């Protein structure tokens, strides 16, 4: 197994709530075994203010988080290998190309978009649910011993219910 950390790319629709949260969680909890990045299918102009405040209130570093396009990671894949792609929205799952260089392991964690609701109370509930769901899934992922191959990763993720 390589000594470099595995690069996990979290992809959602706008890259303003779900995927930046997952990126922050994994980079904080992943030790030297993992590093995370995030991107969006149609990235928004900025991180959602509630995303940033939730993360910072819990002690996570949100300073370097900003929306990015998945196409930038695809274009750079010959220089920076993505080991695992985890889609967090149906749009990301449907629109990412299947011919990603180096054939990364793929997982799909469908998480409700907290930005999909205009009602402040419901949006707050969705943000908290998204936060708790992603934090728990990332913690489960980090507890897995890093796998030696892509096929072993696929089996390991499937065993813990993280591959569809």
3-state secondary structure of 55: helix
Query: Mean pLDDT in the chain?
Result: 90
- Write down the pLDDT at residue 163: 67
Residue 38 pLDDT class (50, 70, 90 cuts): very high
Do 39 and 70 touch, CB atoms closer than 8 A? yes
Q: Span 14-28, mean pLDDT?
A: 96
pTM score, whole prediction: 0.91
Res 124 pLDDT > 90: yes
Domain boundaries, the chain: 6-159
Assigned CATH for 6-159: 3.40.50.2300
The contacts of residue 152 (CB under 8 Å, 6+ apart) are none
Give the residue from 97, 108, 83, 88 showing the smallest Cα distance to 14.
88
């Amino acid at each position: 197994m390589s000594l470099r950390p595995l690069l996990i790319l979290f992809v959602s629709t706008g890259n303003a709530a779900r995927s930046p949260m997952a990126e922050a969680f994994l980079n904080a909890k992943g030790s030297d075994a993992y590093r995370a990045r995030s991107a969006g299918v149609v990235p928004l102009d900025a991180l959602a203010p509630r995303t940033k405040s939730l993360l910072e209130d819990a002690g996570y570093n949100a300073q370097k988080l900003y929306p990015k396009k998945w196409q930038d990671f695809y274009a750079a894949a010959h220089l920076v290998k993505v080991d695992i792609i985890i889609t967090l929205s149906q749009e990301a799952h449907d629109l990412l190309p299947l011919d990603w260089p180096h054939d990364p392991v793929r997982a799909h964690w469908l998480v409700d978009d907290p930005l999909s609701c205009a009602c402040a109370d419901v949006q707050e509930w969705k943000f908290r649910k998204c936060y708790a769901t992603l934090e728990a899934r990332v913690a489960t992922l980090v507890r897995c011993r890093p796998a030696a191959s892509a096929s072993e990763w696929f089996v390991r993720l499937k065993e813990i219910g993280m591959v569809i």
